[in-house]
Amino acid sequence: MGVALRKSAQWTAAGYGARTLEITPLNEVILKEIMMFVESFIYKHPQEAKYVFAEPLEWKTSLDPSAFESGYIVSETTVKSEEVDKDGQPLLFLSVPHIKIRSFGQLSRFLLTAKDTKLKEAQACIEANRDPVTKILGLDYNAMKDDTSVVHILDKITKDGDPESEIKMKLGVLLKHLDLHLLNHSLKHISLEICLNPAIVKNDIERLKHLSGKGEQTVLESIDYTSDYEFSNGCRAPPWRQIHGEICYVVVKPHDVDTLCITCSAEGVFLNGGKTDDEGGINYERKSEIYKDLVTFLKEKSAKFLENMSKQDVRFSEEWKKEKELKEAPKKEEEPTLQKALPASGKSVLEKNQINFGKSQMTKRLEPSLNWKATVDFKDHKNVLRESQEERHGGRLERSGPLVSPGRAQLVRKSAEKIEEIISESSSESEEDEEPPDHRQEANADLPSEYWQIQKLVKYLKGGNQTATVIALCSMKDFNLAQETCQLAIRDVGGLEVLINLLDTDEVKCKIGSLKILKEISHNPQIRRNIVDLGGLPIMVNILDSPHKSLKCLAAETIANVAKFRRARRAVRRHGGITKLVALLDCAQNSQEPAQSSLYDARDVEVARCGALALWSCSKSYANKEAIRKANGIPLLAGLLKTSHENMLIPVVGTLQECASEENYRAAIKAERIIENLVKNLNSENEQLQEHCAMAIYQCAEDKETRDLVRLHGGLKPLASLLNNTDNKERLAAVTGAIWKCSISKENVTKFREYKAIETLVGLLTDQPEEVLVNVVGALGECCQEYENRVLVRKCGGIQPLVNLLVGINQTLLVNVTKAVGACAAEPESMAIIDRLDGVRLLWSLLKNPHPDVKASAAWALCPCIQNAKDAGEMVRSFVGGLELVVNLLKSDNKEVLASVCAAITNIAKDQENLAVITDHGVVPLLSKLANTNNDKLRHHLAEAISRCCMWGRNRVAFGEYKAVAPLVRYLKSNDPNVHRATAQALYQLSEDADNCITMHENGAVKNESPTPNPAIFKLLLDMVGSPDQDLQEAAAGCISNIRRLALATEKARYT
């Protein structure tokens, strides 16, 4: 904690009075972390909480004695804790306003008592006790406060041997861990902050000048620099202020507040003390909080600026965009000064691939310059500055090119190949959307000593002999390479190039040392990109052929880390890496020394594990999946599934899980009897293995045969039991996904009901992440297709949470929840609850959703709601504009939406008033227009809708006029019995009109002049009269009867 407070916390500059903590976001983060540590200390470490400090922590408190309750002796001006030390002294003593606390227990209780003022109290305590650790543990700790080694603390504290030494030792370790936590947390916080540079600041100021002037519509009256001189690095601040990161000073006159004198620095923008009496002098002391940029600062200070800026933003950005498009042209080489301000996204593809022999500008501190120059003409360089502003404000996001590390000499010979690759690669393959943007070390951050020590070791790597190289590699490995600072230290001085070059040597020790380091640092996304850019992957792929198993393992593990984005995965495949990685899976082939089989078996298993790990990363690409299959990877993966090594099983199952998304893989998985082993490993104690097995089952269970295999091998019971462990959300999502897909089979649903899984699923409908909810609701939607399960869901209180989920925005979740609600609505009691919860209105509103799948699912769900509502007609009419919305959906191009809407219209039209309304909205011509479809599902529901709509007014006649009859006759040739039944019913209704009977009679290849019905149609209808389906029999018979009656009437009229 001491090191963090000295190095990370931001203190005011030395002056009159004591230094205090600045009001900055970083300081607030540090204080909150310390408060969380102290507040929980009494519960997490009750023994250490009783330890009495060497000296009390003292400060002035604003807390009133009346705030203290039980456990304290309270008077008007003093408070004493009942808890005392061995000398009888209270561990907390307050004499307004001074307070002394001598244990973590009392410190924890004090913060809990302070409530809303605890942040202020924590700040006062830290400011009054600049070295709290020394006061807590004693002066003997002071000698080693800069040493980050826990071992030194143990040696120092335990050497006295007093009875309290063990507690003191544990407390020392806890404080050291807190210190490291604060340093890491500070580093992460700093890395996320936006660092301003002269180009960005200048662009903001020039933009505001453009929008300033007289008049109510301008954002400011005026904005001017305090100095007309600009240094070669773009700064206007004097050199002795540039070392503090300050860029320039501006005087701003807003419309509604007094003139502001503002400092623009690399850290942000803040109000300074204004101009002094000296000519051109500035009071540099900060008088406000730090804001991220000038516009944000002014929006906070001036309401008029905020109002006018919001009006100007859209117009101004569009105007500049048009200017940019007109004037954009290939640029000549810029001056070195402007290169510093040029953002990465503003450079061309060729510039991205050039070699940067110096240290990256982003890693440099803003250096003061004594070279004066004339002010740069804004018009000459506004394109460059505007690009900088757009990148920073998100005006236009461009994919920046691969990061170029310093000293990439070996990339010269590959530059032509690299450019060709960038031009030729497709957008879907080349977008590295999984990788976050690059973050360099902040210029003003106090970097730890490890950063500089690692950079010294890299120099030894570059210039040392073999022995020195090996020693340097071993020393580098001893650092915490999982820490981002250490990773970037290696990269920033060209260490990556050296490490990759070492892989090309013949020295095995150097290769192993280099790969061990690369394996650790390649967890960093930016390092992964750099390794690919430097051509490291082809070298690692070649190492996979090495006879040294340790080398193969390390190379495969490093490939596994690097191949996390598309370009890397593609590079592995193009250099033959997939075939070589699959070969590593063959343990029997790898073992060549039978005399020492146990030793070499273990090594071969490790080689296979690393190979599977690399294939797991590579298998996220479809082309790589095909390459694995063609290399005969599936049988080898199936063989490894039978091992008992969990470390091996996880990457093997992970690879199968990725590959199972492809249909041809699922067939191969069934053929290799992999499902049995996946089910077996569901009973493992390893949560990660359980997760990947469940995920693999989820992918494979699209196929009915696989779902049956999961049941036959006893996989449903462990899946149901895993639902009870909800702490691991990733595993829960995988398990619920597997249950969802397995529930598509009715036999599996019966088993899940037997295992009480449905009740557990209902319990998961609340307080779960979306990826879990999607699967839970999907599973319930399948289970509720059966009556018993619908009743079960209702009795478990599942209807309300399902209805509540209808207001979400996740497309997949909405599709699943509408299906589940629709299934529940098939039971009248559940439907009554849905209606009471306004669920039908929510379903109807989803018909406006832009996603066709959601529209279709909502329309399907409305069908049972209308069927089972008590007063369905009135309920439907109560939705203003609802019927018109449904009719207009018949204009959709999506077949599923059309089929579902036709089904909804069939149910709506059962009410005569609603049928009249939808007729007025033009349902007849829209339905008639759909008649020429070949989709049997749409035919089925369209015919039903036409049948229902015939029962109003002259709709039968209208369908004939809109030529819907002839296409319907052709439906009788379909192979779907549902289409036959619906079509026969529609034709029966239409045949009530004489003209429609004539159309049916005339429909055929050759027009028959005979008054008898067309023989082909007559035969089709006669066949249907003999159907076992009674509804179909009656409809076909009625249609024949109407046609025949018309024919008889015609004959009679002819002879009379």
Rg (CA), the chain: 38
Query: Which is it for the CA torsion 278, 279, 284, 285, positive or negative?
Result: positive
**How far is residue 362's CA from residue 340's CA, in Å, rounded to a whole number?**
9
Distance (Å) of CA 402 to CA 148, 350, 577? 36, 11, 22
**In the prediction, which pLDDT does 977 show?**
86
Higher per-residue confidence, 570 vs 1033: 570
**How far is residue 806's CA from residue 781's CA, in Å, rounded to a whole number?**
14
**In the prediction, which pLDDT does 349 show?**
33
Contact between 544 and 585 (Cβ < 8 Å): no
Mean pLDDT of 357-376: 35
Higher per-residue confidence, 227 vs 19: 227
Residue 13 CB burial class (10 angstroms; 0-12, 13-18, ≥19)? exposed
Summarize pLDDT for 882-910 with one digit per residue, the tens: 999 999 999 999 999 999 999 999 999 99
Domain 198-327 listed as CATH 3.30.2280.10: yes
**Cα-to-chain-centroid distance, residue 136:** 43
Check pLDDT > 80 for residue 93: yes
Higher per-residue confidence, 773 vs 7: 773
Distance (Å) of CA 191 to CA 137, 250, 391, 401? 32, 27, 18, 21
**In the prediction, which pLDDT does 36 show?**
87
Mean pLDDT of 834-844: 93
Closest C-alpha among 947, 1032, 1020, 952 to residue 990: 947
Check pLDDT > 50 for residue 656: yes
Above pLDDT 70, what percent of the chain?
77
Check pLDDT > 60 for residue 410: no
Check pLDDT > 80 for residue 156: no
Q: How confident is the model at residue 663 (pLDDT cuts 50, 70, 90)?
A: confident
Mean pLDDT of 20-40: 80
Mean pLDDT of 462-480: 80
* DSSP-assigned beta bridge partners for residue 797: none
**In the prediction, which pLDDT does 414 show?**
38
Average model confidence (pLDDT) across the chain: 79
**In the prediction, which pLDDT does 103 show?**
92
**In the prediction, which pLDDT does 140 show?**
64
Summarize pLDDT for 563-582 with one digit per residue, the tens: 999 999 999 999 999 999 99
Check pLDDT > 80 for residue 941: yes
Mean pLDDT of 218-243: 88
| Intervals of CATH 3.30.2280.10 along the chain | 198-327
Mean pLDDT of 176-196: 69
Least confident span in 41-50, 85-94, 524-533: 41-50
The top-level CATH class assigned to 794-921 is mainly alpha
3-state secondary structure of 850: coil
Q: How confident is the model at residue 1009 (pLDDT cuts 50, 70, 90)?
A: very low
**In the prediction, which pLDDT does 159 show?**
53
Higher per-residue confidence, 783 vs 1022: 783
Check pLDDT > 90 for residue 450: no
| Intervals of CATH 1.25.10.10 along the chain | 675-783, 794-921, 935-1056
Q: How many CA atoms lie within 13 A of 370 on its CB side?
A: 1
Higher per-residue confidence, 485 vs 753: 753
Higher per-residue confidence, 439 vs 802: 802
**In the prediction, which pLDDT does 870 show?**
85
Check pLDDT > 70 for residue 466: yes
Check pLDDT > 70 for residue 280: no
**In the prediction, which pLDDT does 708 show?**
93
Summarize pLDDT for 98-154 with one digit per residue, the tens: 999 999 999 998 988 888 888 888 888 888 888 888 888 887 655 444 444 444 544
Check pLDDT > 60 for residue 7: no
The top-level CATH class assigned to 675-783 is mainly alpha
Identify the CATH number of the domain defined by range 935-1056: 1.25.10.10
Q: How confident is the model at residue 337 (pLDDT cuts 50, 70, 90)?
A: very low
3-state secondary structure of 969: helix
Which residues have C-beta within 8 Å of that of residue 495, sequence separation ≥ 6?
Answer: 454, 455, 458, 461, 489
Check pLDDT > 50 for residue 428: no
**In the prediction, which pLDDT does 914 show?**
92
Check pLDDT > 90 for residue 864: yes
Mean pLDDT of 727-733: 93
Distance (Å) of CA 969 to CA 134, 787, 933, 977, 1020? 95, 36, 12, 14, 10
